[in-house]
Amino acid sequence: MSDIYKKRLEKLHGKMKLMDIDAVLITKRENYMYMSGFTGTSACLFITGQRAVLLTDFRYVEQAAVQAPEYEILKYSGSNFNALNHLIECEKVEKLSFEDRHLTFAEHAEFVSRLKVSVFSPLGGAVEELRRIKDASEIELIKKAVNIADNVFTHILKFIKPGVSEIELAAEMEHFMKRQGATGPSFETIVASGKRSSMPHGIASEKKIESGDVITMDYGALYKGYCSDITRTVFLGKPDNELERIYRIVLDTQLKGVAAVKQGITGKEVDTAARNVIANAGFGDNFGHGLGHGVGLEIHEEPMLSMRGVIELKDGMVVTVEPGIYVTGLGGVRIEDMVVVNGETARVLTSAPKELIVI
């Protein structure tokens, strides 16, 4: 595993040379996890061409030494600014690059006032760019998170019945995924039934499931830092005729969206290919969100499959494909898989059934 972090450091060093910066300060948790393997909640990385230092406090020193063997572990007490200034002086750093997309205005102001460097330069999304393409070890962890989500779907079908509340369904799903080895859910579980299913992000409520309801469940598992994201829509009792028609349109759209995912095209092109199917069926105004997004250490990452998705897809990127149709006063349907960009044919990670299910 340590070879993985060596390669990631080498790639970051290459970006540092291109950007002409002496040192990088990484403070975003997902980014320092990616670069070092350390999973604690209090740390930063100080990286130059010659040194890779992980700064943390007393609580995490032992954990950091185990998880980040490629890094020199430096313990600080109270504020980390004294330790950082010591490193800046030792390494003669004049130009320090920081994660401008992560720091708040107040945090940046404190850095400027307390760190002894001549020039602060924005790092932009340099680490996030490295994270876009998943290596084999990352895809295996994501696949495990997806497998847990698949198992949750099989389990919850047995739990759905009239009188059970959406919150009870969500709690059962999250409890089961933990029993399967997940740290917990990768985001707040969405369970929206009946007319509430017209809300794309209808967080589970106290509403009781009723016979005849359409039930949309959007959820994911967090496994060793990596996320999964899946949506399935099912029916309790005979479906409404219009919702059944909508389901078949969404399923057709989702399959065409997956088929459109390939290396060399942009997220916007994939989104358009799927969006046209729904528009041609007369529901263009009822599909108001993007087709999908990248998933990894964060539940929403680049690249985006949306009308603003300008990033070109490359092999190893992991994205969702999740079209939906939402009709206020009637209900909604969404179906979502996770796929890996793989040449001309995307590799679908999700295996939970997508055919129309009536419980």
SS (H, E, C) the chain: CHHHHHHHHHHHHHHHHHHCCCEEEECCHHHHHHHHCCCCCCCEEEEECCCEEEEECHHHHHHHHHHCCCCEEEECCCCCHHHHHHHHHHCCCCEEEECCCCCCHHHHHHHHHHCCCCEEEECCCHHHHHHHECCHHHHHHHHHHHHHHHHHHHHHHCCCCCCCEHHHHHHHHHHHHHHCCCCEECCCCEEEEHHHHHCCCCECCCCECCCCCEEEEEECEEECCEECCEEEEEECCCCCHHHHHHHHHHHHHHHHHHHHCCCCCEHHHHHHHHHHHHHHCCCHHHCCCCCEEECCCCCCEEEEECCCCCCECCCCEEEEECCEEEECCCEEEECEEEEECCCCCCEECCCCCCCCCEC
Percent pLDDT > 90 in the chain is 98
Summarize the confidence of residues 159-182 as an average pLDDT. Answer: 98
Mean local confidence (pLDDT), 223-233? 98
Outline which parts of the chain fall under CATH 3.40.350.10.
2-130
Share of the chain above pLDDT 70, in %: 100
pLDDT of 1 reads 55
Q: Which CATH superfamily is domain 2-130 in?
A: Creatinase/prolidase N-terminal domain (3.40.350.10)
Lowest mean pLDDT among 37-41, 102-106, 149-153: 102-106
Tens-digit pLDDT profile for residues 3-48: 999 999 999 999 999 999 999 999 999 999 999 999 999 999 999 9
Superfamily of domain 136-348: Creatinase/methionine aminopeptidase superfamily (3.90.230.10)
pTM comes to 0.95
Residues of the chain with CATH 3.90.230.10: 136-348
pLDDT of residue 158: 97
pLDDT at residue 2 greater than cutoff 80: no
